[in-house]
Amino acid sequence: MIDFYIWYTSNARKVAIMLEETGLAYQTHVVDIGRGDQFAKDFLDISPNNKIPAIVDQAGPDGEPFAIFESGAILIYLAEKTGKFLPESGSARYDVMQWLMFQMGGVGPMFGQYNHFHNYAREKLPYAMERYAKESHRLYRVMDDVLAKRDFIAGDYSIADMALWPWAHNFAGRGQDPEAVPHVKAWAERIGERDAVQRVMEKIGASPRSGPIDDEHWENMYGATQYASR
Ligand SMILES: N[C@@H](CCC(=O)N[C@@H](CS)C(=O)NCC(=O)O)C(=O)O
């Protein structure tokens, strides 16, 4: 059994897709990051960077419970545990790895900053808003060039697609026109049709709290609570 710690965000959906695709048994624990659950000691013992997603595999590598955080690391761990969605060796393995790192080091942080400065920042900062919009569009174009030649980002459907899809399929949320990146659009539709992906979107595709974040949520994420020493 895998204990899976989530909030209703793209980073959690990456791991949820892998869990659904592989059929591993898991139970979900909701960590309400707007209410400060991520700072509870029990959660920090699992995820010291106070972020979801995280998992505890009750049947870890030595038969012992094993905790791991960072969605990219979790995806690699689950791929190696199941032997699925990551080639075992050779150039195909590094192809998946490079696109997974592209998501973790590029798409995740840049789209995340786009989201922050467009939706959450309490000051409108035109330079930051424009920089992350342009950088997001540039990253979409990089994907579009590759997906013009391949159905999936690293050849076969892999953990790299699972990492990219939850962030990239929501064109409007990133201020992007899908018609400007038609190969990404077709890829997003192709993946969105998968049963596992549809199950994830039914379960954690929408947040129970929508609309502008309230003061408590803002304080936990971007205010004094986030930066308190623990
Ligand atoms: N690089 C991390 C990013 C995780 C992340 O940013 N998680 C957010 C939600 S999507 C979070 O838990 N934030 C809570 C906080 O910063 O206090 C990963 O990919 O797992």
Give residue ranges with CB within 6 A of ligand 1: 7, 9, 11, 33, 38, 50-53, 70-71, 108, 221, 226
Considering the chain, what is the average pLDDT of its residues? 97
Question: Which CATH code, of 3.40.30.10, 3.40.50.300, 3.30.540.10, 3.40.50.620, is assigned to 2-84?
Answer: 3.40.30.10
Q: How far apart are CA 193 and CA 218, in angstroms?
A: 34
Classify strands 66-69 and 54-57 as parallel, antiparallel or unpaired.
antiparallel
At 59-87, the pLDDT tens digits run: 999 899 999 999 999 999 999 999 999 99
- Look up residue 27 and give its amino acid: Q
| Tokens read off for 127 | 């330079």
Determine the residue of 17, 52, 110 to mutate for testing ligand 1's pocket, defined as the one with the most ligand atoms within 8 A of the Cβ atom.
52
* Residue 189's pLDDT band (cuts 50, 70, 90): very high
Residue 210, pLDDT > 90, answer no
pLDDT > 90: what percent of the chain?
97
Residue nearest to atom 11 of ligand 1 (CA): 51
CA of 68 to the centre of ligand 1 (A): 13
State in words which class domain 90-193 has: mainly alpha
Q: What is the pLDDT of residue 132?
A: 98
CA of 148 to the centre of ligand 1 (A): 31
Where in the chain are the domains?
A: 2-84, 90-193
Neighbours of 98 (CB within 10 A): 12
Q: What is the pLDDT of residue 209?
A: 87
Residue 49, pLDDT > 90, answer yes
Residue 211, pLDDT > 90, answer no
